[in-house]
Amino acid sequence: MSEDLLTNVESKDPVALQSDRPEAAGDNRGQSPLKQKEGAGACSDSDEMFEHFRMVVDKGQEPVRIDKYIADHQEDTSRNRVQQAIKLGYVLVNDKVVKANYIVRPLDVVKFVMPYERRGTEILPENIPLDIVYEDDDVLVVNKPAGMVVHPGHGNYNGTLVNALAYYLHLSPDVEDERMGVLVHRIDKDTSGLLVIAKNPAAQLNLADQFFVHSIDRIYTAVVWGNITEDEGTIQGTIGRDPNDRLRFRVYDDPDKGKWAVTHWRVLERLGFITVVECRLETGRTHQIRVHMSSIGHPLFNDERYGGSEIRQGTIYAKYKQFIQNCFALCPRQALHARTLGFTHPKTGERLHFEVPLPEDMSALIEKWRNYIQSN
């Protein structure tokens, strides 16, 4: 692993970085977030799959192995998990990769990243077809269909993208298999579109770093309720879990209640009671586009969790209600597609750009609305 992969991860305390608000960090797109505000601990309310940490060893620290030091100073992190991270080259001291038997010294600067912990779920390889857009020895880009969960979790232990990858890449079902750390980011089950997968630890860590400094290009196409009168805009604010429904997120004014999130949007087509928009992510929070568009009164079409699966615009009469129900049946999920993905190749340094067309359900939905507008 390249020794400079983590040199941009900075914090004053041994905690995961929670926020990259511009007032704390400056405009750090593609740059090192050297002065980002620290958070109170890591959580997985993000589409990225890594926690980033930095800690400085105390002046009075007694000699101790690096694995024990990290485990003792990082909450909810087992020594075994730390050892796995060290084995993969995810731990650096003074910007150099170290082994588990390294003895920390006063004022050592320890930097490391860890994949969000898998709760002991066994990964069973499954022969599930993958729509592969690009592949080489280091990365794999796939076009995920709507309805496929990215990784196993509560209620979804098979049929996931990770199960498919385990089969395709000939990975062991052992959850501790170091090669299972192939995911770098994720998208929702009912969102379709592009994902990049790392095929080795060095590529995984390099891509995780690109996500962390916001140098990854991600553009989505969404169908939202309502006629957006402006041509473009930016939504920003802190996104955190809704205390009344742990499966939902919301925008908060209080910066301590979540993570800073920025979405840039642009109108592509106005179709009466709905609008087709392009959304470019500057940050990657869970449900970010769904939460942000709902927060400005334009929830995604047929997004049940955020109020888009009911009639939000138009006159309530039988014929129109039937039309909307037909639209919901045509696209039975939130109308959101990860259309574009761009990143720097972790080995060659070449800038790669990929784009996939809208899936059939969203294309048919938009066409149905075009015909409705023309006939009314």
For residues 297, 300, 302, 306, the Cα torsion angle rounded to the nearest 10 degrees is: -60
First to last CA, the chain: 60
Per DSSP, 61 falls in state: P
Token reading at 236:
């920003």
Indicate which residues carry an active-site annotation: 188
Cβ atoms 6, 113 nearer than 8 A: yes
Cα–Cα distance, 111 to 9 (Å, whole number): 7
Cβ atoms 85, 103 nearer than 8 A: no
Percentage helix, strand, coil, to 5, in the chain?
Answer: 25, 30, 45
Cβ atoms 137, 199 nearer than 8 A: yes
Cβ atoms 83, 60 nearer than 8 A: no
Cα–Cα distance, 14 to 75 (Å, whole number): 9
Cβ atoms 126, 157 nearer than 8 A: no
